[in-house]
Structure 1
Amino acid sequence: MLGLGDLNLRERLAPDVPAWVTEWVCAGACAALAGLLRVIVDLLVPTPPPYVFLYPLVLLATLLAGWRAGIYSLTIILLGVWYIVLFPARFGPLGAAEGVALLLNAISGLAVIAVAQAFRTSYRAAEAERAGKLEVRDLLLRELNHRVKNNFQMVESLLDMQRRRSASAGAEQALADALRRVHSMAQAHANLYSPDEAGDAIDLGAYLGDLCENLSDSLLLTGEVRLDSWLTPCPVSRDRAVAVGLVVNELVTNAAKYAFPAGRSGRILVSLRQIEAGCELTVVDDGVGMPPEAEIRSTGLGRKLVEGFARQAGGALTRGEGPGVSHTLVLPH
């Protein structure tokens, strides 16, 4: 939607076009439009008022190029009324009534120009204030993001330090899982909550593509186990994308850890497609499937996190049957 700033031709065309050229062109165009409209009305209405199009066209010229353009157009239109309407093809002597009418319309036109110019000035002041507030907001958001990033790094360092000092294999594994999850949240924040990104909606497909590349590197997947993705564009909110990304992180990590034991080769596929109800996300592997002991582990923290993130994303998560393990998350509109 166009605002007044988009109609300010004098500023939009500068410095390629001098301001005075823009003012005179706008004034002449508005005066010519007033004359054209007058000719059309003459064909439809007998003896229309002589100043019928004076005010809207003077107002338009002022809004487009400022008060000088408004005065130029007012002068041209008044001279045109005198030369063409009151005395066809000549500047004849004005009677008392005609002179008073011309003077009063000139004063009224000046009042319209003054009001329009005051509106332009207040609008520009409001725009400058708004730009200043946006600049301060962006500065605060950058500072906040910087602090959050530092906090994530501190938490990761503490978890990694505690993991290295742990004497228990179970505790070390639990801390490693916690470290991986915190790292995933830090990456999601860095990728999605940037003050340079405009709007709330993002492309979930593009975000998951970057996430899969990071997961493939962080999980040290080799040619024996591949992580592939087949992703179509799907616009979602940023908060929803974070929750979906954490679901994918948990499911892909579990598949990489349990689906391919003893050096078994295989493939993990993350796919996203649009369906009538919304978007459908699938994480599937062709590994050994889920053994009974993994069923028991699946009721633990990892499974609860996946279910919690799925609920946070507003989707329904289901597990499919097959030679490996597949999970499907449907995200309604």
Structure 2
Amino acid sequence: MSNTEIILNVDDNEPGRYATTRILSRAGFQVIEAGTGSEALRLARSASPQLVILDVNLPDMNGIEVCRQLKTDPHTASIMVLQVSATNVALLDRVSSLQAGADSFLIEPVEPEELEAVARALLRLHRTEAQLRRSLAERELLLREVNHRVKNSLQLVLSMLSLQGNEFREAGAREIFAKAIARVTAIASIHERLYQDNDPLSIDMHTYLNGLCAELARAGIGEERHADLRTEIEPLRLPTENGVSLALIVNELVMNALKHGRPVDRPAIVHVKLRRLDSGQGQLIIADNGPGLTASASREAIVASSGLGSRLINMLVRQLNGQLRIEDADGYAVHITFPLQPAPTWGPKS
């Protein structure tokens, strides 16, 4: 046992409180005392004990309510609570204590050996949980550092691609490099968001895809005329790997729509929609009001040919275990339906 561990003994009965403190002190524990619920809450916050031995009957508030407040306060939630009582010993009383967050319950009178043994067991559990919280905190810092370094590395790649692309005189080569830069930018921006997010294991698709589409609209890929890029992104958090796949798909299809999906007789409109279906699947739709495949054979290159964009999209759809469907009426639309994977839970340090 660490000599910094503190037990808070809460009992309004002075002789009983003295007896419990004496047992614990003789066992080598550091013990502080409280006679009321409000005093117990104050000492729990100021002295940071690792264990509270808490009587149910207190003069100002019920010990079960004290336990509930301890367990719902982030500053005291990790404290172990041993509820004790000589009168409130019915099954319902014990269940109520445990439902309020108590870690154990003892019926008084308690033999000194049992009290000491239970106290040591709960303190061992507290040390184990504390170590887990430290490990989670270290893991969080590591993930953030990894995402930060990946983002910086990708920014270096972007700079190198930009410098290399400026050396090409041929328009086709410059366009290839521009697409490569856009793909790397999409990935880099995800890692930047993961570095800033409270949850580095998943990505907020609503915020990210809206930002990505705004960047693509400002870039004006291959066309100086204005295009109205409209987004309808439902609030969804997806595992990072799924978020990266969707982001790259959106990047490819929106760039294609901005270049090939502009009608000649009316303003260009591109829709990007992401929603949750009742079937538990997700659906991504990217549609424009352009000429469609029949009037522009080059549009087919994005999904039906052996080009890099086509191969990339089909590979990403397979990674999502999704299905791709094309509509070519009143424009051009790609529908991608995929099973929604639950985002991994992230336990921030408490």
The two structures have a TM-score, normalised by structure 1, of 0.67
8 Å contact 1:163–1:175 — kept in the other structure?
Answer: yes
Give matches, 1:59-74, under 5 Å: 74=108
Give matches, 1:316-331, under 5 Å: 316-331=323-338
Following TM superposition, the consecutive aligned residue runs of length 4 or more in structure 1 with deviations greater than 6 angstroms are 8-12, 16-20, 29-32, 220-223
Change (3 A) 1:24 1:177: closer
Q: Would you say 1:280 and 2:283 are equivalent positions? A: yes
* Secondary structure, aligned partner of 2:151: helix
Quote the residue 1:268 is aligned against: 270
Output the CA distance in 2 between the equivalents of 1:119 and 1:16.
Answer: 20
Supply the AA of the counterpart residue of 1:212: C
Change (3 A) 1:213 1:296: closer
Output the CA distance in 2 between the equivalents of 1:196 and 1:176.
Answer: 28
Quote the residue 1:13 is aligned against: 41
- Candidates 273, 295, 313, aligned match of 1:306: 313
| Structure 1 residue 318 displacement after superposition | 1.1
CA-based RMSD of the aligned residues comes to 4.0
| Structure 1 residue 251 displacement after superposition | 0.6
8 Å contact 1:229–1:270 — kept in the other structure?
Answer: yes
Moved more, 280-289 or 220-229: 220-229
Quote the residue 1:243 is aligned against: 245
The two structures have a TM-score, normalised by structure 2, of 0.64
8 Å contact 1:23–1:65 — kept in the other structure?
Answer: no
Quote the residue 1:160 is aligned against: 162
Listed one character per residue, the Cα deviations across residues 15-48 of structure 1 (whole Å, up to 9, x for unaligned) are 478889x85654756899543557x9xxxxxxxx
Quote the residue 2:24 is aligned against: none
Listed one character per residue, the Cα deviations across residues 94-132 of structure 1 (whole Å, up to 9, x for unaligned) are xxxxxxxxxxxx6xx212211111112212221222232
| Structure 1 residue 273 displacement after superposition | 2.7
Quote the residue 1:256 is aligned against: 258
- Candidates 29, 35, 39, aligned match of 2:87: 35
| Structure 1 residue 231 displacement after superposition | 2.5
Change (3 A) 1:36 1:151: closer
Quote the residue 2:144 is aligned against: 142
Give matches, 1:148-187, under 5 Å: 148-187=150-189
8 Å contact 2:148–2:191 — kept in the other structure?
Answer: no
Larger-gyration structure (1/2):
1
Output the CA distance in 2 between the equivalents of 1:65 and 1:318.
Answer: 54
Quote the residue 1:295 is aligned against: 300
Quote the residue 1:217 is aligned against: 218
Output the CA distance in 1 between the equivalents of 2:199 and 2:119.
Answer: 32
Which has more helix, going by share of residues?
1
Supply the AA of the counterpart residue of 1:210: G
Which has more strand, going by share of residues?
2
Provide the identity percentage: 28
Which runs of 5 or more structure 2 residues have no equivalent in the other structure?
1-8, 11-33, 64-82, 341-350
Output the CA distance in 2 between the equivalents of 1:252 and 1:181.
Answer: 12
- Candidates 121, 124, 146, aligned match of 1:122: 124
Output the CA distance in 1 between the equivalents of 2:248 and 2:156.
Answer: 20
Change (3 A) 1:305 1:12: farther
8 Å contact 2:144–2:200 — kept in the other structure?
Answer: no
Change (3 A) 1:332 1:12: farther
| Structure 1 residue 211 displacement after superposition | 2.6
Which runs of 5 or more structure 1 residues have no equivalent in the other structure?
1-7, 41-52, 78-105
Quote the residue 1:100 is aligned against: none
Change (3 A) 1:318 1:12: farther
* Secondary structure, aligned partner of 2:336: strand
